Amino acid sequence: MSVIKNEIFQVLFIFILAVFLRFWNLENIPPSMYWDEVSQGYNSYSVLKTGYDEHHEFLPLAKFNAFGDYKAPVYIYLDVPFIALFGKSTLAVRFPSALLGSLTVLLTYFLAKELFLENKHKKYIGLFASFLLAISPWHIQLSRVAYEANVATFFTVLGVFLFLYSIRKKSYILLLSIMSFVLAFYAFNAHRVFVPLFLIFLFAINYKYFLQNKKVLILSTLVGIIMLLPFVFYLQTPESKLRFNEVNIFTDVDVVKKSNQWTAEDDNSLVSKVVHNRRVLFGLLYVKHYFDFFNPNYLFFQGDGNPRFSLQDTGELYLWELPLLLFGIYALFKSRTKSVLIILGWFLLAPVAGATARETPHALRSETFIPTYQLIAAVGAIQLGSLMKHFNTSLKYGAAVIGGIWITFSVYIFLHDYFVHYATTFSYEWQYGYKQAVMKTEKLKDTYDTIAFTESYGRPYIYVLFYGDTNPSLYWDNSKVIRDPFGFYNVERVGKYEFRKDLLSPNDKGKKVLYVGRENEIPEGAKILDTIYFLDGGKAFVIAGSE
Protein backbone atom coordinates (compact mmCIF):
# COMPACT_ATOMS: atom_id res chain seq x y z
CA MET A 1 0.00 0.00 0.00
CA SER A 2 2.89 2.32 0.58
CA VAL A 3 3.23 2.87 -3.12
CA ILE A 4 -0.18 4.62 -3.12
CA LYS A 5 1.06 7.04 -0.50
CA ASN A 6 4.09 7.84 -2.59
CA GLU A 7 3.84 11.36 -3.97
CA ILE A 8 5.53 10.55 -7.28
CA PHE A 9 3.13 7.72 -7.81
CA GLN A 10 0.18 9.98 -7.09
CA VAL A 11 1.35 12.65 -9.52
CA LEU A 12 2.03 10.02 -12.13
CA PHE A 13 -1.42 8.59 -11.66
CA ILE A 14 -3.03 12.00 -12.24
CA PHE A 15 -0.84 12.60 -15.27
CA ILE A 16 -1.74 9.24 -16.80
CA LEU A 17 -5.40 9.97 -16.14
CA ALA A 18 -4.98 13.33 -17.90
CA VAL A 19 -3.21 11.70 -20.85
CA PHE A 20 -5.89 9.07 -21.13
CA LEU A 21 -8.76 11.57 -21.06
CA ARG A 22 -6.99 13.71 -23.67
CA PHE A 23 -5.70 11.06 -26.06
CA TRP A 24 -8.19 8.22 -25.95
CA ASN A 25 -10.04 7.98 -29.26
CA LEU A 26 -8.68 11.37 -30.25
CA GLU A 27 -9.28 10.66 -33.94
CA ASN A 28 -13.02 10.22 -33.51
CA ILE A 29 -14.07 12.45 -30.65
CA PRO A 30 -14.74 15.17 -31.67
CA PRO A 31 -15.89 13.30 -34.78
CA SER A 32 -14.00 15.28 -37.39
CA MET A 33 -11.77 18.29 -37.80
CA TYR A 34 -13.39 21.70 -38.26
CA TRP A 35 -11.96 24.31 -40.67
CA ASP A 36 -9.31 25.87 -38.47
CA GLU A 37 -7.82 22.53 -37.46
CA VAL A 38 -7.53 21.41 -41.07
CA SER A 39 -6.07 24.76 -42.06
CA GLN A 40 -3.44 24.57 -39.33
CA GLY A 41 -2.68 20.99 -40.31
CA TYR A 42 -2.29 21.82 -43.96
CA ASN A 43 -0.05 24.79 -43.26
CA SER A 44 2.17 22.60 -41.06
CA TYR A 45 2.28 20.07 -43.84
CA SER A 46 3.15 22.73 -46.38
CA VAL A 47 5.92 24.09 -44.16
CA LEU A 48 7.22 20.57 -43.60
CA LYS A 49 7.34 19.71 -47.29
CA THR A 50 8.45 23.03 -48.76
CA GLY A 51 9.29 25.56 -46.07
CA TYR A 52 6.52 27.73 -47.40
CA ASP A 53 2.98 28.18 -46.07
CA GLU A 54 -0.23 27.70 -48.02
CA HIS A 55 0.13 31.18 -49.61
CA HIS A 56 3.74 30.58 -50.62
CA GLU A 57 5.19 32.73 -47.88
CA PHE A 58 8.53 31.49 -46.54
CA LEU A 59 8.48 30.51 -42.85
CA PRO A 60 6.13 33.25 -41.58
CA LEU A 61 6.94 34.46 -38.08
CA ALA A 62 4.26 36.95 -37.04
CA LYS A 63 1.22 35.19 -38.52
CA PHE A 64 -0.05 32.74 -41.10
CA ASN A 65 -2.53 34.22 -43.55
CA ALA A 66 -4.52 30.96 -43.82
CA PHE A 67 -8.14 31.92 -44.61
CA GLY A 68 -7.22 35.58 -44.32
CA ASP A 69 -7.90 35.34 -40.58
CA TYR A 70 -4.17 35.61 -39.69
CA LYS A 71 -3.56 32.61 -37.53
CA ALA A 72 -0.99 32.70 -34.76
CA PRO A 73 2.17 30.79 -35.75
CA VAL A 74 3.09 28.68 -32.71
CA TYR A 75 0.59 25.87 -33.19
CA ILE A 76 1.45 25.42 -36.84
CA TYR A 77 5.19 25.07 -36.16
CA LEU A 78 4.58 22.81 -33.17
CA ASP A 79 2.59 20.54 -35.39
CA VAL A 80 5.32 20.04 -37.99
CA PRO A 81 7.08 17.13 -36.25
CA PHE A 82 3.78 15.35 -35.62
CA ILE A 83 2.74 15.67 -39.26
CA ALA A 84 6.14 14.26 -40.15
CA LEU A 85 5.57 11.41 -37.73
CA PHE A 86 1.91 10.54 -38.32
CA GLY A 87 1.26 12.03 -41.75
CA LYS A 88 -1.73 14.19 -42.61
CA SER A 89 -4.16 12.87 -40.02
CA THR A 90 -6.48 14.01 -37.28
CA LEU A 91 -4.19 12.50 -34.68
CA ALA A 92 -1.21 14.47 -35.95
CA VAL A 93 -3.11 17.76 -36.04
CA ARG A 94 -4.54 17.39 -32.55
CA PHE A 95 -1.44 15.91 -30.99
CA PRO A 96 0.25 19.15 -29.81
CA SER A 97 -2.91 20.33 -28.07
CA ALA A 98 -3.54 17.01 -26.35
CA LEU A 99 0.11 16.68 -25.36
CA LEU A 100 0.56 20.19 -23.99
CA GLY A 101 -2.88 19.93 -22.38
CA SER A 102 -1.70 16.84 -20.49
CA LEU A 103 1.52 18.57 -19.56
CA THR A 104 -0.44 21.57 -18.27
CA VAL A 105 -2.00 19.20 -15.74
CA LEU A 106 1.44 18.13 -14.60
CA LEU A 107 2.69 21.70 -14.51
CA THR A 108 -0.26 22.75 -12.39
CA TYR A 109 1.02 20.43 -9.69
CA PHE A 110 4.46 22.01 -9.70
CA LEU A 111 3.02 25.50 -9.97
CA ALA A 112 0.80 24.93 -6.94
CA LYS A 113 3.73 23.69 -4.90
CA GLU A 114 5.76 26.73 -5.91
CA LEU A 115 2.90 29.10 -5.09
CA PHE A 116 2.13 27.57 -1.72
CA LEU A 117 5.70 26.86 -0.71
CA GLU A 118 5.08 27.89 2.87
CA ASN A 119 1.79 26.06 3.19
CA LYS A 120 2.00 22.76 5.08
CA HIS A 121 -0.65 21.32 2.77
CA LYS A 122 1.14 22.33 -0.43
CA LYS A 123 1.40 18.73 -1.61
CA TYR A 124 -2.36 18.25 -1.35
CA ILE A 125 -3.12 21.57 -2.97
CA GLY A 126 -0.91 20.57 -5.90
CA LEU A 127 -2.38 17.10 -6.20
CA PHE A 128 -5.92 18.30 -5.92
CA ALA A 129 -5.52 21.20 -8.34
CA SER A 130 -3.92 19.01 -10.99
CA PHE A 131 -6.56 16.34 -10.46
CA LEU A 132 -9.32 18.92 -10.92
CA LEU A 133 -7.67 20.06 -14.13
CA ALA A 134 -7.26 16.48 -15.33
CA ILE A 135 -11.02 15.91 -15.13
CA SER A 136 -12.08 19.46 -16.03
CA PRO A 137 -14.77 19.56 -18.77
CA TRP A 138 -13.36 22.87 -19.94
CA HIS A 139 -9.80 21.63 -20.30
CA ILE A 140 -10.59 18.17 -21.63
CA GLN A 141 -12.75 19.57 -24.40
CA LEU A 142 -10.20 22.17 -25.44
CA SER A 143 -7.30 19.72 -25.24
CA ARG A 144 -8.89 17.31 -27.68
CA VAL A 145 -9.04 19.83 -30.51
CA ALA A 146 -6.20 21.69 -32.22
CA TYR A 147 -6.99 24.90 -30.36
CA GLU A 148 -4.24 27.50 -30.26
CA ALA A 149 -5.56 28.74 -26.92
CA ASN A 150 -4.74 25.44 -25.28
CA VAL A 151 -1.11 25.72 -26.32
CA ALA A 152 -0.98 29.33 -25.18
CA THR A 153 -2.34 28.21 -21.80
CA PHE A 154 0.50 25.72 -21.43
CA PHE A 155 3.11 28.36 -22.12
CA THR A 156 1.45 30.79 -19.70
CA VAL A 157 1.45 28.25 -16.89
CA LEU A 158 5.03 27.31 -17.69
CA GLY A 159 5.97 30.97 -17.74
CA VAL A 160 4.46 31.61 -14.30
CA PHE A 161 6.08 28.54 -12.83
CA LEU A 162 9.53 29.48 -14.16
CA PHE A 163 9.04 33.06 -13.06
CA LEU A 164 8.36 32.06 -9.45
CA TYR A 165 11.12 29.50 -9.48
CA SER A 166 13.69 31.94 -10.83
CA ILE A 167 12.85 34.53 -8.22
CA ARG A 168 13.13 32.02 -5.43
CA LYS A 169 16.45 30.75 -6.74
CA LYS A 170 17.62 34.18 -7.89
CA SER A 171 18.57 32.70 -11.21
CA TYR A 172 18.66 33.43 -14.90
CA ILE A 173 15.88 30.91 -15.50
CA LEU A 174 13.82 34.07 -15.72
CA LEU A 175 14.95 34.22 -19.36
CA LEU A 176 13.20 30.91 -20.01
CA SER A 177 10.12 32.24 -18.29
CA ILE A 178 10.07 35.30 -20.53
CA MET A 179 10.55 33.12 -23.61
CA SER A 180 7.67 30.96 -22.53
CA PHE A 181 5.44 34.01 -22.08
CA VAL A 182 6.43 35.29 -25.51
CA LEU A 183 5.52 31.92 -27.02
CA ALA A 184 2.12 32.21 -25.35
CA PHE A 185 1.90 35.66 -26.90
CA TYR A 186 2.58 34.18 -30.34
CA ALA A 187 0.24 31.27 -29.76
CA PHE A 188 -3.17 32.90 -29.41
CA ASN A 189 -4.77 36.29 -30.02
CA ALA A 190 -6.21 36.76 -26.53
CA HIS A 191 -2.76 36.28 -25.03
CA ARG A 192 -1.45 39.27 -26.95
CA VAL A 193 -3.44 41.37 -24.47
CA PHE A 194 -3.29 39.11 -21.46
CA VAL A 195 0.41 38.24 -21.40
CA PRO A 196 1.79 41.82 -21.36
CA LEU A 197 -0.68 42.88 -18.66
CA PHE A 198 -0.01 39.85 -16.54
CA LEU A 199 3.74 40.25 -16.90
CA ILE A 200 3.60 43.89 -15.86
CA PHE A 201 1.59 42.77 -12.86
CA LEU A 202 4.09 40.05 -11.98
CA PHE A 203 7.02 42.45 -12.25
CA ALA A 204 5.18 45.12 -10.26
CA ILE A 205 4.47 42.95 -7.24
CA ASN A 206 8.09 41.76 -7.24
CA TYR A 207 9.58 45.21 -7.79
CA LYS A 208 11.78 44.97 -4.72
CA TYR A 209 13.48 41.87 -6.05
CA PHE A 210 14.09 43.38 -9.44
CA LEU A 211 15.50 46.58 -7.96
CA GLN A 212 18.15 44.41 -6.36
CA ASN A 213 18.70 42.26 -9.42
CA LYS A 214 18.76 44.80 -12.19
CA LYS A 215 20.91 42.66 -14.48
CA VAL A 216 18.30 39.92 -14.72
CA LEU A 217 15.62 42.49 -15.30
CA ILE A 218 17.48 44.20 -18.14
CA LEU A 219 18.54 40.99 -19.81
CA SER A 220 15.09 39.46 -19.74
CA THR A 221 13.51 42.67 -21.01
CA LEU A 222 15.96 42.62 -23.90
CA VAL A 223 15.19 39.02 -24.78
CA GLY A 224 11.50 39.78 -24.65
CA ILE A 225 11.83 42.79 -26.93
CA ILE A 226 13.94 40.96 -29.50
CA MET A 227 11.48 38.10 -29.63
CA LEU A 228 8.62 40.54 -30.11
CA LEU A 229 10.22 42.31 -33.08
CA PRO A 230 8.49 40.28 -35.83
CA PHE A 231 5.20 41.10 -34.20
CA VAL A 232 6.01 44.79 -33.94
CA PHE A 233 6.62 44.92 -37.69
CA TYR A 234 3.40 43.06 -38.29
CA LEU A 235 1.56 45.54 -36.09
CA GLN A 236 2.44 48.29 -38.59
CA THR A 237 0.33 46.60 -41.26
CA PRO A 238 -3.40 47.29 -41.62
CA GLU A 239 -4.33 43.62 -41.65
CA SER A 240 -3.21 43.26 -38.04
CA LYS A 241 -6.24 45.28 -36.98
CA LEU A 242 -8.66 43.62 -39.33
CA ARG A 243 -9.57 40.64 -37.22
CA PHE A 244 -9.82 42.72 -34.06
CA ASN A 245 -12.15 45.26 -35.66
CA GLU A 246 -14.34 42.46 -36.80
CA VAL A 247 -15.00 41.02 -33.37
CA ASN A 248 -14.62 43.88 -30.88
CA ILE A 249 -17.46 45.61 -29.04
CA PHE A 250 -16.23 49.15 -29.50
CA THR A 251 -17.61 49.37 -33.02
CA ASP A 252 -21.17 48.71 -31.85
CA VAL A 253 -23.44 51.31 -33.45
CA ASP A 254 -26.30 50.73 -31.00
CA VAL A 255 -24.25 52.20 -28.18
CA VAL A 256 -23.68 55.40 -30.12
CA LYS A 257 -27.38 55.57 -30.95
CA LYS A 258 -28.34 55.12 -27.30
CA SER A 259 -25.86 57.80 -26.27
CA ASN A 260 -27.27 60.24 -28.80
CA GLN A 261 -30.85 59.40 -27.87
CA TRP A 262 -30.33 59.98 -24.15
CA THR A 263 -28.43 63.17 -24.79
CA ALA A 264 -31.22 64.42 -27.01
CA GLU A 265 -33.80 63.55 -24.36
CA ASP A 266 -31.87 65.77 -21.96
CA ASP A 267 -32.05 68.63 -24.47
CA ASN A 268 -28.36 68.20 -25.33
CA SER A 269 -27.27 69.86 -22.10
CA LEU A 270 -23.56 69.93 -21.32
CA VAL A 271 -23.91 67.68 -18.29
CA SER A 272 -25.79 65.12 -20.27
CA LYS A 273 -23.09 65.14 -22.94
CA VAL A 274 -20.71 64.09 -20.20
CA VAL A 275 -23.00 61.61 -18.47
CA HIS A 276 -24.26 60.00 -21.66
CA ASN A 277 -20.93 60.14 -23.37
CA ARG A 278 -20.43 57.12 -25.55
CA ARG A 279 -17.23 56.38 -23.66
CA VAL A 280 -19.25 55.90 -20.48
CA LEU A 281 -21.61 53.57 -22.28
CA PHE A 282 -18.77 51.66 -23.90
CA GLY A 283 -17.19 51.39 -20.46
CA LEU A 284 -20.38 49.88 -19.05
CA LEU A 285 -20.67 47.60 -22.06
CA TYR A 286 -17.14 46.40 -21.42
CA VAL A 287 -18.01 45.66 -17.78
CA LYS A 288 -21.04 43.72 -18.98
CA HIS A 289 -18.91 41.59 -21.27
CA TYR A 290 -16.37 41.14 -18.50
CA PHE A 291 -19.09 39.99 -16.09
CA ASP A 292 -20.37 37.57 -18.72
CA PHE A 293 -17.42 35.35 -17.91
CA PHE A 294 -18.81 34.96 -14.40
CA ASN A 295 -22.30 34.07 -15.49
CA PRO A 296 -23.24 31.03 -13.38
CA ASN A 297 -25.14 29.46 -16.26
CA TYR A 298 -22.03 29.59 -18.39
CA LEU A 299 -19.71 28.37 -15.66
CA PHE A 300 -21.74 25.56 -14.17
CA PHE A 301 -24.62 24.53 -16.42
CA GLN A 302 -24.43 25.20 -20.11
CA GLY A 303 -20.86 26.22 -20.83
CA ASP A 304 -20.00 28.15 -23.94
CA GLY A 305 -22.93 28.46 -26.35
CA ASN A 306 -20.77 27.15 -29.17
CA PRO A 307 -21.08 23.34 -29.30
CA ARG A 308 -17.47 23.09 -30.44
CA PHE A 309 -16.39 24.26 -26.99
CA SER A 310 -19.02 22.66 -24.81
CA LEU A 311 -21.56 19.85 -24.62
CA GLN A 312 -24.33 22.41 -23.98
CA ASP A 313 -25.50 20.59 -20.88
CA THR A 314 -22.31 20.62 -18.81
CA GLY A 315 -20.68 23.79 -17.59
CA GLU A 316 -17.06 24.79 -17.94
CA LEU A 317 -16.73 23.75 -14.31
CA TYR A 318 -18.54 21.14 -12.24
CA LEU A 319 -21.26 22.45 -9.98
CA TRP A 320 -19.63 20.71 -7.01
CA GLU A 321 -16.59 22.92 -7.52
CA LEU A 322 -18.69 25.97 -6.58
CA PRO A 323 -18.62 25.37 -2.81
CA LEU A 324 -14.90 24.61 -3.06
CA LEU A 325 -14.36 27.87 -4.93
CA LEU A 326 -16.22 29.84 -2.27
CA PHE A 327 -14.21 28.25 0.51
CA GLY A 328 -11.09 28.82 -1.57
CA ILE A 329 -11.70 32.51 -2.09
CA TYR A 330 -12.36 32.90 1.60
CA ALA A 331 -9.17 31.08 2.52
CA LEU A 332 -7.12 33.11 0.04
CA PHE A 333 -8.49 36.41 1.34
CA LYS A 334 -7.65 35.28 4.83
CA SER A 335 -4.03 34.39 4.20
CA ARG A 336 -2.96 37.56 2.34
CA THR A 337 0.35 36.41 0.87
CA LYS A 338 2.05 37.31 -2.38
CA SER A 339 0.94 34.02 -3.92
CA VAL A 340 -2.64 34.96 -3.19
CA LEU A 341 -2.06 38.23 -4.96
CA ILE A 342 -0.69 36.36 -7.98
CA ILE A 343 -3.68 34.03 -8.19
CA LEU A 344 -6.23 36.82 -7.72
CA GLY A 345 -4.43 39.09 -10.19
CA TRP A 346 -4.28 36.29 -12.73
CA PHE A 347 -7.93 35.50 -12.11
CA LEU A 348 -9.10 39.09 -12.57
CA LEU A 349 -6.93 39.71 -15.64
CA ALA A 350 -7.96 36.46 -17.31
CA PRO A 351 -11.09 37.77 -19.06
CA VAL A 352 -9.64 41.19 -19.90
CA ALA A 353 -8.97 40.32 -23.54
CA GLY A 354 -12.01 38.14 -24.10
CA ALA A 355 -14.31 40.87 -22.81
CA THR A 356 -13.46 43.15 -25.72
CA ALA A 357 -15.17 40.71 -28.08
CA ARG A 358 -18.83 40.57 -28.99
CA GLU A 359 -19.27 36.90 -28.30
CA THR A 360 -19.02 36.53 -24.56
CA PRO A 361 -18.56 34.45 -22.57
CA HIS A 362 -16.12 32.56 -24.74
CA ALA A 363 -14.42 29.41 -23.46
CA LEU A 364 -11.40 29.72 -25.76
CA ARG A 365 -10.61 33.39 -25.28
CA SER A 366 -10.86 32.93 -21.54
CA GLU A 367 -8.79 29.77 -21.26
CA THR A 368 -6.42 32.22 -19.55
CA PHE A 369 -8.43 31.38 -16.41
CA ILE A 370 -6.92 27.91 -16.35
CA PRO A 371 -5.67 26.80 -13.87
CA THR A 372 -6.73 29.56 -11.45
CA TYR A 373 -10.16 28.04 -10.87
CA GLN A 374 -8.55 24.70 -10.09
CA LEU A 375 -6.01 26.26 -7.74
CA ILE A 376 -8.68 28.19 -5.86
CA ALA A 377 -10.90 25.12 -5.60
CA ALA A 378 -7.98 23.07 -4.32
CA VAL A 379 -7.28 25.64 -1.62
CA GLY A 380 -11.00 25.54 -0.83
CA ALA A 381 -10.91 21.77 -0.50
CA ILE A 382 -8.11 22.03 2.04
CA GLN A 383 -10.04 24.70 3.92
CA LEU A 384 -13.14 22.54 3.89
CA GLY A 385 -11.11 19.58 5.05
CA SER A 386 -9.78 21.43 8.06
CA LEU A 387 -13.28 22.67 8.83
CA MET A 388 -14.59 19.10 8.73
CA LYS A 389 -12.18 18.12 11.46
CA HIS A 390 -14.53 19.89 13.85
CA PHE A 391 -17.51 17.85 12.68
CA ASN A 392 -18.54 14.80 14.65
CA THR A 393 -17.81 11.46 13.06
CA SER A 394 -21.20 10.64 11.58
CA LEU A 395 -21.54 14.10 10.07
CA LYS A 396 -18.04 13.79 8.65
CA TYR A 397 -18.77 10.47 6.99
CA GLY A 398 -22.19 11.61 5.86
CA ALA A 399 -20.74 14.66 4.15
CA ALA A 400 -17.94 12.62 2.62
CA VAL A 401 -20.33 10.00 1.24
CA ILE A 402 -22.76 12.53 -0.20
CA GLY A 403 -19.93 14.60 -1.65
CA GLY A 404 -18.30 11.48 -3.06
CA ILE A 405 -21.49 10.33 -4.77
CA TRP A 406 -22.16 13.78 -6.17
CA ILE A 407 -18.64 14.14 -7.55
CA THR A 408 -18.44 10.63 -8.99
CA PHE A 409 -21.82 10.94 -10.57
CA SER A 410 -21.27 14.28 -12.24
CA VAL A 411 -17.82 13.35 -13.53
CA TYR A 412 -19.24 10.10 -14.85
CA ILE A 413 -22.13 11.80 -16.56
CA PHE A 414 -19.85 14.33 -18.23
CA LEU A 415 -17.49 11.64 -19.52
CA HIS A 416 -20.39 9.50 -20.67
CA ASP A 417 -22.10 12.36 -22.49
CA TYR A 418 -18.84 13.45 -24.05
CA PHE A 419 -17.50 10.08 -25.16
CA VAL A 420 -20.83 8.50 -26.06
CA HIS A 421 -23.31 11.15 -27.16
CA TYR A 422 -21.33 14.19 -28.17
CA ALA A 423 -20.04 13.08 -31.58
CA THR A 424 -23.46 11.87 -32.65
CA THR A 425 -25.36 14.96 -31.58
CA PHE A 426 -22.97 17.57 -32.94
CA SER A 427 -21.23 16.01 -35.96
CA TYR A 428 -22.68 18.80 -38.08
CA GLU A 429 -20.80 21.40 -36.03
CA TRP A 430 -17.56 19.60 -36.84
CA GLN A 431 -17.95 19.74 -40.60
CA TYR A 432 -18.42 16.01 -40.54
CA GLY A 433 -18.49 14.37 -43.97
CA TYR A 434 -15.87 16.46 -45.75
CA LYS A 435 -13.20 13.84 -45.17
CA GLN A 436 -15.37 11.00 -46.45
CA ALA A 437 -16.51 13.07 -49.42
CA VAL A 438 -12.99 14.02 -50.48
CA MET A 439 -11.70 10.45 -50.06
CA LYS A 440 -14.49 9.31 -52.37
CA THR A 441 -13.93 11.99 -55.01
CA GLU A 442 -10.20 11.29 -54.98
CA LYS A 443 -10.98 7.70 -56.00
CA LEU A 444 -13.34 8.80 -58.76
CA LYS A 445 -11.55 11.87 -60.04
CA ASP A 446 -9.65 10.24 -62.89
CA THR A 447 -12.82 9.45 -64.77
CA TYR A 448 -14.23 13.00 -64.57
CA ASP A 449 -13.21 16.29 -66.16
CA THR A 450 -14.49 18.51 -63.36
CA ILE A 451 -15.50 18.01 -59.76
CA ALA A 452 -18.18 20.51 -58.80
CA PHE A 453 -18.00 20.81 -55.02
CA THR A 454 -20.52 22.76 -52.94
CA GLU A 455 -19.41 25.79 -50.96
CA SER A 456 -22.44 25.68 -48.71
CA TYR A 457 -20.63 24.00 -45.78
CA GLY A 458 -17.86 26.59 -46.01
CA ARG A 459 -14.18 26.45 -47.02
CA PRO A 460 -14.20 23.11 -48.86
CA TYR A 461 -10.83 23.74 -50.54
CA ILE A 462 -8.87 23.18 -47.36
CA TYR A 463 -10.34 19.68 -46.99
CA VAL A 464 -9.46 18.91 -50.60
CA LEU A 465 -5.90 20.04 -49.95
CA PHE A 466 -5.63 18.11 -46.73
CA TYR A 467 -7.33 14.86 -47.65
CA GLY A 468 -6.48 14.88 -51.36
CA ASP A 469 -3.05 13.86 -52.53
CA THR A 470 -2.28 17.32 -53.88
CA ASN A 471 1.18 18.52 -53.10
CA PRO A 472 1.52 22.20 -52.15
CA SER A 473 3.00 23.27 -55.48
CA LEU A 474 -0.07 22.06 -57.37
CA TYR A 475 -2.16 24.39 -55.25
CA TRP A 476 0.13 27.34 -55.93
CA ASP A 477 0.31 26.73 -59.68
CA ASN A 478 -3.05 25.37 -60.61
CA SER A 479 -5.77 27.17 -58.68
CA LYS A 480 -7.92 30.27 -58.67
CA VAL A 481 -7.99 32.34 -55.48
CA ILE A 482 -9.81 35.62 -55.01
CA ARG A 483 -9.52 37.91 -52.01
CA ASP A 484 -12.75 39.48 -50.83
CA PRO A 485 -13.03 43.04 -49.46
CA PHE A 486 -12.80 41.78 -45.87
CA GLY A 487 -9.44 40.18 -46.58
CA PHE A 488 -10.68 36.59 -46.67
CA TYR A 489 -9.40 34.27 -49.37
CA ASN A 490 -12.00 32.72 -51.55
CA VAL A 491 -10.67 29.65 -53.32
CA GLU A 492 -12.70 28.96 -56.44
CA ARG A 493 -10.67 26.18 -58.02
CA VAL A 494 -7.92 23.73 -57.14
CA GLY A 495 -6.94 21.42 -60.00
CA LYS A 496 -10.06 19.62 -61.12
CA TYR A 497 -12.05 20.78 -58.13
CA GLU A 498 -14.33 23.75 -58.63
CA PHE A 499 -16.03 25.20 -55.57
CA ARG A 500 -19.45 26.53 -56.44
CA LYS A 501 -22.50 28.11 -54.85
CA ASP A 502 -24.59 26.58 -57.62
CA LEU A 503 -23.36 23.19 -58.73
CA LEU A 504 -24.67 23.60 -62.29
CA SER A 505 -22.53 25.75 -64.55
CA PRO A 506 -22.82 26.62 -68.26
CA ASN A 507 -19.10 25.80 -68.66
CA ASP A 508 -19.84 22.16 -68.00
CA LYS A 509 -21.26 21.51 -71.49
CA GLY A 510 -19.78 18.37 -72.97
CA LYS A 511 -17.76 17.63 -69.85
CA LYS A 512 -18.06 14.76 -67.41
CA VAL A 513 -18.81 16.33 -64.06
CA LEU A 514 -18.82 14.85 -60.57
CA TYR A 515 -21.19 16.68 -58.25
CA VAL A 516 -20.64 16.87 -54.51
CA GLY A 517 -23.23 18.73 -52.46
CA ARG A 518 -26.25 18.69 -50.21
CA GLU A 519 -29.08 16.49 -51.43
CA ASN A 520 -31.13 19.42 -52.74
CA GLU A 521 -28.16 20.91 -54.59
CA ILE A 522 -27.52 17.93 -56.86
CA PRO A 523 -28.76 18.70 -60.40
CA GLU A 524 -31.69 16.69 -61.65
CA GLY A 525 -30.84 13.69 -63.71
CA ALA A 526 -27.41 13.19 -62.20
CA LYS A 527 -26.71 9.65 -61.13
CA ILE A 528 -26.25 9.28 -57.40
CA LEU A 529 -23.07 7.36 -56.61
CA ASP A 530 -22.77 7.73 -52.88
CA THR A 531 -24.36 9.38 -49.87
CA ILE A 532 -22.50 10.48 -46.77
CA TYR A 533 -24.44 10.81 -43.52
CA PHE A 534 -23.98 12.89 -40.41
CA LEU A 535 -23.66 10.72 -37.33
CA ASP A 536 -27.20 11.55 -36.24
CA GLY A 537 -28.53 10.17 -39.52
CA GLY A 538 -29.03 13.40 -41.48
CA LYS A 539 -27.60 13.58 -44.98
CA ALA A 540 -24.33 15.49 -45.27
CA PHE A 541 -23.18 14.96 -48.84
CA VAL A 542 -24.57 13.35 -51.93
CA ILE A 543 -22.06 12.49 -54.62
CA ALA A 544 -23.43 12.17 -58.13
CA GLY A 545 -22.03 11.93 -61.64
CA SER A 546 -23.37 13.62 -64.78
CA GLU A 547 -24.49 11.22 -67.49
Q: Interface with another protein includes 295 (CB under 8 A)? A: yes
Q: Which residues inside 401-460 make contact with another protein, applying CB under 8 A?
A: 409, 412-413, 416-417, 420-421, 424-425
Q: Other C-beta atoms within 10 Å of 520: how many?
A: 8
Burial of 70 (0-12, 13-18, 19+ CB in 10 A): buried
Is 273 a binding residue for another protein by CB under 8 A? The answer is no
CA distance 524 to 540: 18
Distances (CA, A) of 268 to 254, 275, 496: 18, 11, 63
Q: Considering only residues 122, 123, 258, 308, which one is a binding residue for another protein as defined by CB under 8 A?
A: 258
Query: Which one of 10-18, 287-295, 342-350, 447-455 is the stretch in contact with another protein (CB under 8 A)?
Result: 287-295
Give residues 6-65 in contact with another protein (rule: CB under 8 A): none
Least distance from another protein to the Cβ atom of residue 361, Å: 10
List the beta bridge partners of residue 94.
none
- CA-CA distances (angstroms) from residue 151 to 77, 102, 181, 361, 414? 12, 11, 11, 20, 23
Q: Which is nearer to another protein, 305 or 495 (CB)?
A: 305
For residues 12 and 205, which CB has a smaller minimum distance to another protein in the complex? 205
Nearer to another protein, 417 or 530 (CB): 417
- Report which DSSP code applies to 237: S
Mapped onto helix, strand or coil, the DSSP state of residue 33 is coil
Question: Is residue 319 a contact point for another protein (CB under 8 A)?
Answer: yes
Residue 256: CB minimum distance to another protein, A: 14
* Residue of the chain from 287, 387, 401, 439 that contacts another protein (CB under 8 A): 287
Q: With CB under 8 A, what is the number of residues at the site for another protein?
A: 34
Site for another protein (CB under 8 A): which residue of 266, 492, 508, 530? 266
- Contact in structure between 390 and 286 (CB atoms under 8 Å): no
- At 452 the three-state DSSP class reads strand
Q: Does 333 bind another protein (CB under 8 A)?
A: yes
Long-range contacts of 169-174 (CB under 8 A, 24+ apart): 170/213, 172/216, 172/219, 174/216, 174/220
Asked if 288 touches another protein (CB under 8 A), the answer is yes
Can residue 386 be called a binding residue for another protein (CB under 8 A)?
no
Could you give the CA distance from residue 175 to residue 360 in angstroms, rounded to a whole number?
34
Interaction mask 217-256, another protein, x per CB under 8 A: ----------------------------------------
The interface region with another protein, picked from 180-188, 192-200, 260-268, 381-389 by CB under 8 A, is 260-268
**Smaller CB separation from another protein, 41 or 361:** 361
Name the site residues for another protein (rule: CB under 8 A): 258, 261-262, 265-266, 275, 281, 284, 287-288, 291-292, 294-297, 300-301, 312-313, 319, 322, 330, 333-334, 409, 412-413, 416-417, 420-421, 424-425
